[in-house]
Chain A
Amino acid sequence: MTATQDSPKGKLKKTFFKSDQEVRWCPGCGDYGILNAVQSTFAELGLERENIVIVSGIGCSSRFPYYMETYGFHSIHGRAPAVATGVKLSRPELEVWVITGDGDALSIGGNHLIHTLRRNVGLKIILFNNRIYGLTKGQFSPTSEIGKVTKSSPYGSVDMPFNPLSLALGVGATFVARTIDVMGKHMREVLKAAHEHEGTAFIEVFQDCNIFNHGAFDPIVKKEVRDDRLVDLRPNQPLVFGQDHDKGLIWDCNQLRVVKLGEADETGKVWKEEDLVVFDPSNPNPSLAFALSHLREVDEPTPIGVLRSIKQASYEKMVHGQIQGIQDKKGERSLEDLIYAGKTWEVK
């Protein structure tokens, strides 16, 4: 805790950000991968430990701050974005990250999440989505699929889930991304992009809870299938995917459709790369990003990477800009000015 080691950019090891606390997630939990990626990213970015504040809510993922040698605040269920907003508004110079889960952010804390996103507070929010309640030992969450059998849904869940990315895009988030616990390099890239972003960066991470929902993402993230089941979004590149880069997405009848490249379809048309949709996450119009977020997981590719990254002044910048502007114009008042203001009279 008292280490005052310097942090010359580029020379840091990820252990620089490791606290002295024993990590207590279940062995094999996807959280380890995320912790690793965050520590490595911070090291690669050469961040100062004392300038980082990590705020979390409640849930397995929310133990995260204890494992980081930074400032940390393990708050209450669902409220991390609100606590973090208080920190960031007070001290815009601090790097404030929020760690949350699908229950924490989307169920009990849904209100804070949407309002943080629409305001564009400069927080980097990592949502660990394991599609289950882990800490309370296995109930369905707002991202569990229909029919999911859990302790609180022994006959299958009839609770319609929602999609975190669609939600974030819908409320006007300025940075929306998705990555996967087992794809360390991809995650570090996304985390770096989030760090660079002004305003709220929202990152969903598919995270395996190997105790209560093991393998939930296997059908799309297992090494053998991943290339065919995921489409990795690259700015201003056509939407190509597949082990042999042989598939792509076109815009057809107001929606995205998968086509095979170089092969004639039923109409006889042979699709080429230049026919594919070119994706630009900086497009202020969120329609295409929204369509991507809505691709069917069962038979269409799942998008990962940055879906949206647009320029918009952060909330704290606007708040402090306004204060500065008014101070420049009017100047600060002394306490005396304030108290002796208004209509006063003298009694002799």
Chain B
Amino acid sequence: MTTVTPDGSPTGKVEILEEAVIRFAGDSGDGMQLTGNQFSDSAALFGNDLATFPDFPAEIRAPIGTLAGVSAFQVRISSNDIHTPGHLLDVLVAMNPAALKVHLPDLKHGGILLVNTGNFGKRDWEKAGYTSNPLEDETIVEPYHLVQVDLNHLTKETLKDTNLDNKAIMRCKNFAALGILLWMFNRDLEPTIRAIKERFGKKAPEIADANVAVLVAGRNYAETVELLDHTFQVDQAELEPGIYRNIMGNQATGLGLLAASKLTGVQLFLGSYPITPASDILHQLSSYKQDGVITFQAEDEIAAICSTVGAAYAGMLAVTTTSGPGVALKTEALGLGVMAELPFVVVNVQRGGPSTGLPTKTEQADLYQAIWGRNGECPLPVLAAASPVDCFYMAIEAFRIATKYMTPVLLLTDGYLANGSEPWKLPKIEDLPKFEVHFETNPEGFQPYKRDPETLARPWVRPGTKGMQHRIGGLEKEDGSGNVSYDSENHFHMVKTRQAKVMGIAKDIPAPELHGDSEGDLLVLGWGSTYGSIYGAVDKARKEGFKVSQLHLRHVFPLPEGVDKILAGFKRILVPEMNMGQLTNYMKTQISADYISYPKVTGKPFYNDEVLRKIREVLA
């Protein structure tokens, strides 16, 4: 923990921290996601900047108390502007021995380890693979500030006079932990109590009351026994004034897709098949019925994209959402989209691969697939969101490009963005990007492949428009008329035209923002979810005196104009990415420069300090 002078705090018992990284870990049934979210909300309301990241077990219901069943939620709260949920922990809450075993390696030496001793019986620690009680093992807990509370007992005692059965009572114990944490960080309980009542109040008022009682009991207990000799304070961050809400990447994507529909007045259609970690977008859009969104849960990934192609043909803003293995199945239909020149969006929430891979872990290894993974010459624009909030803006951007250029667009996010959250300064509606969708209705001189001379886009015609009946399909066609053509010169012409159309988008997208000076020894080049990790690292490195800057790509293919000029300002280009060097190799085909690939493929995001170390190493 970074300690700042306590600043003459009246009691002398409050330590002021710039920031803190806290992880709640327990069994999947222990409610750790809810606890973590509640803690984050209270930090947000207080005015901290924050970033969160959940760590779900791959198993849906692994046996209770086992390592496979551990679920965790991490939040970093700060009085500074931050972009990642952090790495090493200041506080670890371990609800059982399995959670301790899985997460203890990430706790800083000297960090606070709050354990629920109620779940540390012999059977519990045996299940986690310990041969003796870890809490009594000096070699395990010695480096940390161990705080032991029997949360089970505390919860039972608090609720002994209620009518709840034992199971229901035990389900409240996470709120005892939350009460302790809120005390530890000097947070007001009121917003959390309100949130509990909102969440449970209507359907199960007795559960709401129980949770509140246990929350208060946890706080009171900590205060009474002075669980720590001092508490902590993380001050408000200097955030830009405005209205904020906390948002996860998938949520932002779903909202962005709907926003595009609201901005254009064209109805939204989603064809999708459930797949981790993309399903939440399907869930969200399925709840938008009142906004006229049509969602179609298809029989498979192929039908999901094919229905999307059909909807685009029918004149909808059409999108399909999936993850890497799903994109593999959608590949042929993507080719059809390119050939038929229809506007739709494919969202790939990337996960660990290949094959089924690591469904709940994050990775960025589908870039080759996105840019080059189709049969034939099949270019289409590839975008990548840089942060959870950016997913919102990139979803709108994807539809803007798709409809303006009559092309499928691939939008890449990943598991880290999808489930991670950050505060979003809500935009004014009038500041949102405006774009118009044009449907051709004039039969005079109409041809299905007559192109706009500037964008090379063909007209979009809604079936039902009189006098404009026409046929399209996957066969090569004559430019203009759209009639099937096997002519070799025409094929070459069409291949070049489709390529030129997509490459022409480079003129119509913003140059990426450079973070730092425009000249230096090193440029750290990234794309997608590594933005925050690189940002923090570059910031620190610059403070250390290194001549390093950051460039982040949100439009990956085609590259925006001017990237070559930016790269030319630096001696070397470091490319951290969660794959074996896909952007690096792609960049080599586009702009020659001295690239250094920095791969990490562990299912986990980059941490600031990893990137920082690499920068130091390269510039040493």
Contact = CB atoms under 8 A, between A and B. Distances in A.
Interface of A: 1-4, 19, 21, 48-51, 53, 55, 58, 65-66, 68-76, 79, 82-91, 93-94, 111-112, 114-115, 319, 322-323, 326-327, 329-336, 338-348
A342 to B, nearest CB: 5
A86 B296 contact: yes
Contacts of B289: 322-323, 326-327
A341 B247 CA distance: 11
B399 interface: no
B475 A74 contact: yes
A104 to B, nearest CB: 13
A19 B469 CA distance: 10
A332 B309 contact: no
Chain A binding surface, main DSSP class: mixed
Given A71-B469, A339-B259, A76 B241 contact: no
A2 B444 contact: yes
Interface in B240-276: 240-246, 255, 258-259, 262-263, 267, 269, 271
Contacts of A83: 306-307, 309-310, 313
Given A72-B470, A76-B332, A76-B336, A2 B313 contact: no
B314 A335 contact: no
B619 interface: no
Given A4-B467, A86-B271, A87-B463, A332 B290 contact: yes
B241 to A, nearest CB: 5
Contact of A89 (B195, B255, B269, B300): B269
B466 A4 contact: yes
Contacts of B335: 76
A4 B312 CA distance: 25
A115 B315 CA distance: 24
B296 A89 contact: yes
Interface of B: 41, 44-45, 47, 195, 239-246, 255, 258-259, 262-263, 267, 269, 271, 289-294, 296, 298-300, 302-303, 306-316, 318, 332-333, 335-336, 340, 425-427, 429, 432, 443-444, 446-447, 462-475, 483-484
A274 B340 CA distance: 57
Contacts of A58: 474
Contacts of A336: 429
B269 A339 contact: no
Contacts of A319: 294, 296
B314 A331 contact: no
Contacts of A65: 471, 473
Which among A2, A90, A330 has the highest number of chain B CB atoms within 10 Å? A90
A332 B261 CA distance: 13
19 contacts: A50-B465, A66-B473, A72-B469, A72-B471, A72-B473, A79-B302, A86-B271, A86-B307, A86-B308, A87-B313, A89-B296, A91-B462, A111-B302, A115-B298, A323-B293, A332-B290, A335-B432, A340-B426, A348-B241
Contact of A74 (B41, B465, B471): B471
A50 B336 CA distance: 23
Contacts of A49: 469
Given A331-B290, A343-B245, A93 B426 contact: no
Contacts of B292: 323, 327, 332
A345 B244 contact: yes
Contacts of A344: 243-245, 426
Given A4-B467, A21-B483, A331-B290, A86 B245 contact: no
B471 A345 contact: no
A2 B467 contact: yes
Given A51-B463, A83-B310, 14 more contacts: A1-B446, A50-B463, A50-B469, A72-B470, A75-B306, A86-B296, A87-B311, A90-B315, A322-B289, A323-B292, A332-B290, A332-B291, A338-B258, A340-B426
Given A90-B315, A346-B243, A51 B300 contact: no
Contacts of A348: 241
Contact of A66 (B307, B333, B471): B471
B299 A111 contact: yes
B389 to A, nearest CB: 11
Given A86-B306, A86-B308, A347 B299 contact: no
Given A347-B47, A347-B239, A339 B299 contact: no
B269 A91 contact: no
A48 B465 CA distance: 11
Contact of A51 (B45, B262, B293, B464): B464
A90 B269 contact: yes
B443 A340 contact: no
A303 to B, nearest CB: 29
A88 B47 CA distance: 49
Nearest to B309: A83
Contacts of B302: 79, 82, 111-112
B426 A89 contact: no
Contact of B306 (A79, A326, A329, A339): A79
The 3 lowest CB-CB distance pairs between A and B, nearest first, are A86-B310, A74-B473, A86-B307
A89 B309 CA distance: 12
Given A21-B483, A112-B303, A323-B294, A75 B47 contact: no
B243 A86 contact: no
B310 A330 contact: no
Contact of A91 (B271, B291, B427, B463): B463
Contact of A86 (B311, B425, B474): B311
Contacts of A93: 464
Nearest to B242: A347
Contacts of B332: 76
A319 B294 CA distance: 8
B303 A82 contact: yes
A77 to B, nearest CB: 8
A2 B443 contact: yes
Given A90-B315, A327-B292, A348-B241, A85 B307 contact: yes
A343 B191 CA distance: 11
A53 B426 CA distance: 42
Given A2-B443, A50-B468, A335 B299 contact: no
A111 B463 contact: no
Contact of B484 (A66, A76, A84, A90): A66
Nearest to A51: B464
A342 B41 CA distance: 11
Contact of B307 (A3, A82, A114, A343): A82
Given A86-B318, A94-B464, A76 B290 contact: no
Given A86-B269, A90-B316, A338 B443 contact: no
A50 B462 CA distance: 10
Given A89-B307, A339-B427, A347 B336 contact: no
A252 to B, nearest CB: 39
B246 to A, nearest CB: 7
Nearest to A20: B483
A163 B447 CA distance: 42
A74 B160 CA distance: 69
Contacts of B243: 340, 344-346
Contact of B311 (A70, A90, A327, A330): A90
